[in-house]
């Protein structure tokens, strides 16, 4: 089976989801999962220095693989700020050798959804408040969507170390261990109040209601100026983010009718994976954004802050 509805499942639970290009058709050697019988939680073992200015520094590796292991290496990468990056809807190389109840020996890849959570995995442990806050909602959403056909005792939420016969330790240092994570997942499943919004964030002031038919957009809203021959499909393919229907709904327009000179606003989330010789200013110029705004959006100290190849910058939240 393919996890073809994964984006909808997670967004419906209130998570911020980024669909990486090609994720919905991606699977190791073109293969799909046999059946979902559980979720396997990992940490990425990323060097702490890579976290500077990057939410998910291992994303490209998890998509493409390592010299010793072909990608994809997971189905989901879980970023430092709680963002969920979809890597593969099909088979992923993440479980390795091991066993668990209801899982054929050494066949975890075929039955377990693999989540790689960005963390060094060494003390002092560096799990972020966002990760701790969001992970139970992700686990609960996956369980509701894919595991309710299993007996309750076989709805697996496992740490890699609990499955592995190769001495794995991940996800090391999670508060309360896997028992703590399972308890928090069960609390969400049993109706615990949602806490997806940061507790410290003030409630935003309500925006003024637009007049009928009027669309109010900020100075840093990303848009496309329509030229002759353009279609919403062309715009969607360029940004590789929202669907044609989402763009049409966001602009309150007929998806089959756009005219030259018209501004078509592009909804998020949108990301940019840094390549050489990108800078914050060059990326901001490309999208017609203010460089200071782009830096602030990504938690960077200013428009001249260093960014690194493979960093993932949020262009529109």
The predicted model gives 161-174 an average pLDDT of 96
Token pair, residue 273, equals 């994976």
The predicted model gives 182-187 an average pLDDT of 96
Name the β-bridge partners of 32: none
Give the separation between CA 90 and CA 23, rounded to whole angstroms. 9
Q: C-alpha angle with apex 187: 181 to 193, nearest 5 degrees?
A: 120
The predicted model gives 179-185 an average pLDDT of 97
Q: Could you report the per-residue pLDDT of 214-271, keeping only the tens digit for each?
A: 565 666 678 888 888 899 988 887 776 688 888 888 888 888 889 988 888 888 777 8
Cβ atoms of 278 and 294 within 8 Å: the answer is: no
Cβ atoms of 165 and 61 within 8 Å: the answer is: no
Helices (H), the chain: 6-12, 59-64, 129-146, 160-163, 177-189, 232-239, 244-251, 280-287, 291-297
Q: Could you report the per-residue pLDDT of 205-228, keeping only the tens digit for each?
A: 444 444 555 565 666 678 888 888
pLDDT category of residue 23 using cuts at 50, 70 and 90: very high
| Measured CA distances, 238 to 226, 266, 297 (Å) | 13, 11, 22
Q: Which residues, 6+ apart, have CB-to-CB distance to 180 below 8 Å? A: 174
Give the separation between CA 171 and CA 158, rounded to whole angstroms. 10
Q: Which residues, 6+ apart, have CB-to-CB distance to 217 below 8 Å? A: 223, 265
* Whether pLDDT at 72 is above 70: yes
Cα distance from N-terminal residue to C-terminal residue, the chain: 30
* Whether pLDDT at 41 is above 70: yes
Higher pLDDT, 210 or 38: 38
Higher pLDDT, 43 or 219: 43
């Amino acid at each position: 089976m393919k996890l073809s509805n994964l984006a909808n499942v997670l967004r419906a639970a209130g998570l911020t989801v980024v669909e990486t290009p090609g994720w919905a058709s991606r699977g190791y050697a073109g293969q799909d999962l046999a059946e979902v019988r559980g979720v396997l939680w990992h940490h990425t073992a990323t060097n702490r220095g890579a976290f500077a200015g990057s939410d998910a520094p291992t994303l490209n590796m998890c998509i493409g693989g390592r010299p010793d292991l072909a990608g994809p290496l997971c189905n989901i990468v879980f970023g430092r700020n709680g963002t969920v990056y979809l890597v593969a809807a099909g088979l992923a190389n993440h479980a390795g050798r091991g066993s668990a109840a209801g899982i054929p020996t050494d066949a975890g890849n075929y039955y377990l959804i693999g989540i790689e959570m960005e963390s060094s995995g060494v003390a002092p442990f560096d799990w972020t408040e966002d990760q701790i806050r969001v992970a139970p909602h992700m686990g609960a959403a996956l369980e509701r969507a894919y595991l309710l056909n299993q007996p309750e005792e076989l709805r697996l939420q496992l740490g890699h170390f609990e499955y592995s016969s190769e001495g794995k330790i991940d996800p090391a240092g999670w508060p309360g261990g896997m028992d703590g994570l399972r308890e928090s997942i069960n609390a969400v499943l049993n109706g615990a109040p949602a806490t997806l919004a940061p507790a410290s964030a003030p409630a935003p002031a309500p925006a003024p209601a637009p007049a009928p038919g009027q669309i109010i957009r900020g100075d840093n809203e990303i848009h496309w100026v329509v030229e002759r021959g353009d279609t919403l499909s062309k715009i969607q393919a360029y940004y590789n983010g929202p669907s044609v229907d989402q763009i049409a709904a966001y602009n309150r327009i007929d998806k089959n009718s756009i005219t030259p000179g018209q501004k078509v606003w592009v909804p998020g989330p949108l990301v940019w994976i840094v390549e050489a010789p990108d800078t914050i200013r060059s990326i901001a110029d490309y999208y017609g954004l203010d460089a200071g705004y782009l830096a602030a959006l990504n938690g960077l100290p200013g428009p001249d802050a260093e960014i690194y190849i493979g960093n993932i910058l949020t262009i529109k939240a």
